[in-house]
Every structure is written in C-alpha cells, then in structure tokens.
Amino acid sequence: MALLREISNAWRFFSKTPRSEKAILFYAEHKGDLPYFEGIIRELTQARGRTISYITSDAGDPVLAKDDPHVRTFYLKTLLPYLFIYINSDVCAMTVPDLDHLRLRRSLNPVHYIYVMHTLVSTFRTYRPNALDAYDAIFCAGPHHVEEIRRREEFAKLKPKVFVEQGYWRLEEVCRKFQEYKNTQRGPASPSQGGQKTILIAPSWGKDNVLELCGIELVRTLLGEEYKVIVRPHPETTRKSPELLKSFRDEFSGNQNFILEENIASVDSLLEADLLICDMSGVAVEYAFGTERPVLFIDTPLKVINPNYEELGLEPVELTLRPLLGPSIDPKDIKNIGGVIKQLFEQKDNYRQKLRDLRARYVFNFGNSSKIAADYILSKVDQK
C-alpha cells in the first residue's frame, strides 16, 4: 500500500501538477524539517500569493494533512532517489546535507538548489566535509556560516556559492512565542512568583550525549530536587536508540513531574523551561537567544563528524558561544548540580542584555528572515 501511495503521488507531481505550482519546491526528509521552512512558506503563499510544492519522506508529516490551497503536498520516500534526478522545478529548498554525495542526486534539469539552515551552530565540525558543496545557494543564519562555508570553498577550490544573509526564522518564532507565553504566565503559581520550576534536558545525539552518558542519574537528581523535568531527545536518538528511551520510561513514567517529549516540532517545552540543560546541541543557542535565559551545559566529549574540521583554521561558533551562554558541569559532578542550578537562577537577570547583544552579533536580520528568503527564491523563479 505504501508503494502504491508513492506511485500515485509521483504521478500526481510529475504529470498532473502544473509547472507553475511546482516551480518552487521544498523537500523534507522528516516532519522535523517543517519548522525551518514554515516562515518562508508562509511568506511565499500568504503574503505573496504563490503556490508551492512540498515533498516529504515522512508519512506522518503533519503537512500532508493540511488543506492549504497554496501548498501542493506529496509523499515520496522509497522512490524518491530514482525520481529526484528528473525534478524540473526552478528552485528546490532543503535542509538535507550531502546533496549529490549520498542518497539524493542533483536533477538532470537546471534546478537551483538552496540549503536552508536548520541550526545556528557551525557546519564544519558536525557535517561531513563536502556536505554543502553541491548546493547553489546557502541561506545563512549568521556571519559565521558565511565565513566557514567560504573558507571551505577556498580550501577545496570549489565554485563559489551564493550566500544569502537570511537569518533564522525558528529563532524568531521561539522569541515571539516566548513573549506571548510570558504574558500569560502572571498567576501566583507561575515560576516567576515562586511556583515549581521546570528544567528541560535537550541534548544532541550520539554515543556521548547527555542521555547516554548520565541521563538517568541527572533526571533522578533533578526530580529529587522537586523540579519538573522534561526530557527532549534528539530525533536521531529517538530513531536509533529506542532502548535508551525505554529505560527512561521504565524508570520515571510513574513520576508526575517527569515528561518524555519526542515531538521537537513544537517549541512549547522551550517556552516553559526555566532552565535548559544541554551538551553541544544547537538548541542551546536557540533557547538562550530566544528566551534570553542562560543554559547549563554538561561537559560531555565533543561530537565530531568531520575529523579534519580544524584544517579550516576556524573555531566552531558553538565553542565560542558556550562559555558566554552559561556555566558547564562535569558529568561526574551531577550529584552537586542542585547548587549550581540555584546559583544560576539567582544570576539569570544578569544574562538578559548579554544574550541580546550576542544575538544581534551572531544572527542576521532578526525579524526579517522570511522576507529575505522569499525575495531570493522569487528572484530566481522570475529570472526563469
């Protein structure tokens, strides 16, 4: 049945959809990609009146259930690598690295490929060296993305790409929703008025992330301090380590102060959290810049996908920012984390202006990213 559904969707995309309605194409590998496209799509469809196409490889992607007259949706997964080379859109925007190197190849037609950033951190440590080489344009979240990808071009003698100083819509959305959330949290039971505080644990993925290294002990300690604890695993952890998540359910599901959140499309837990505990995940920067609250880092081993990342001679921005966003604690000192957290709550007001200044320095065009992205996309479509 799944294959028949794909065949039907492929026929609908290639044979039944007018060329004008698929001139602009977004591709999502999974439903977690939508939050990075949403602002751009809204600007193109609602503000500019354009119709776009959206292919997803996730059968559970909520975009498939939406009834938007300006968004044509298609589900393609198994057949996608075979059909992708025949796409004839003017522009294809994706968050998928390694175009033309792994699963997906560039089309035989003159498609303009745009990489949409789904992180505020650097690309050259946690991406493969050639991950972005095949793209025509990069929607950069901040000046560090321009510098490091240009350095990669010079190092590998690549054809120059277009660097669009877009910014980061997901951060804008976190900030906007957080302001709305604060305006509704004025009651006597709110954390600001002395109610129970919420701590969010949202680490990166890999064998040495917080949940793998010391997650059970960390949650047990926080619950013992009478905090509400939300554990938000990375989608790759959810996909690759189901037994790890089962161990958290088995240990803590009976505690009313524990929540295991596996849907990262929502930002609600970021808004609710009085403190984020993290390792090296990009969500640390989103949380700090979006809520203007500090982050407590667990000093886990550095995750490196590109073993030669130092050859560019640049420091990853997440390493530069880490000591500025909040303190770090050794995994061996988890039992003492309660004192560190209380001290951090006492100091949190000192972080607010510093985090605003860092956001202005490290993020392009805060508040205008979707318009900038839409302007560029339409300029390429209208050229053709």
Q: What is the 3-state secondary structure (H, E, C) of the chain?
A: CHHHHHHHHHHHHHHHCCHHHCCEEEEECCHHHHHHHHHHHHHHHHHCCCCEEEEECCCCCHHHHCCCCCEEEEECCCCHHHHHHHCCCCEEEECCCCCCCCCCCCCCCCCEEEEECCCCCCCCCCCCCCCCCCCCEEEECCHHHHHHHHHHHHHHCCCCCEEEECCCHHHHHHHHHHHHHHHHCCCCCCHHHCCCCEEEECCCCCCCCHHHHHHHHHHHHHHHCCCEEEECCCHHHHHHCHHHHHHHHHHHCCCCCEEECCCCCCCHHHHHCCEEEECCCCHHHHHHHHHCCCEEEECCCCCCCCCCHHHHCCCCHHHHHHHHHCCEECHHHHHHHHHHHHHHHHHHHHHHHHHHHHHHHHCCCCCCHHHHHHHHHHHHHHHC
Read off the pLDDT of residues 124-169 as tens digits, 9 standing for 90 and up.
988 899 999 999 999 999 999 999 999 999 999 999 999 999 999 9
Q: Could you check whether 2-168+366-383 and 181-362 share the same CATH topology? A: yes
How many C-beta atoms surround the C-beta of residue 348 within 10 A? Answer: 14
pLDDT of residue 237: 77
CB 172 within 8 A of CB 166: no
d(CA 95, CA 100): 14
Best CA proximity match to 203, nearest among 116, 123, 95, 287: 287
d(CA 269, CA 201): 10
Given the structure tokens 């809520």, which residue do they identify? 291
d(CA 85, CA 155): 28
Looking at the domain 2-168+366-383, which fold is it? Rossmann fold (3.40.50)
- Residue 230 sits at the vertex; the CA angle it makes with 341 and 38, to the nearest 5 degrees, is 115
Q: Where are the domains of the chain?
A: 2-168+366-383, 181-362
Q: Which two tokens stand for residue 268?
A: 């609600």
As a CATH number, domain 181-362 is 3.40.50.2000
Given the structure tokens 């609908």, which residue do they identify? 12
pLDDT of residue 194: 58
d(CA 16, CA 217): 55
- Residue 65 sits at the vertex; the CA angle it makes with 263 and 242, to the nearest 5 degrees, is 30
Q: Side chain identity at 311, as an amino acid letter?
A: E
pLDDT of residue 189: 40
Read off the pLDDT of residues 30-89 as tens digits, 9 standing for 90 and up.
888 999 999 999 999 999 999 999 999 999 999 999 989 999 999 999 999 999 999 999
Extract the residue ranges of the chain whose pLDDT is less than 50.
187-193
Best CA proximity match to 104, nearest among 129, 77, 122: 77
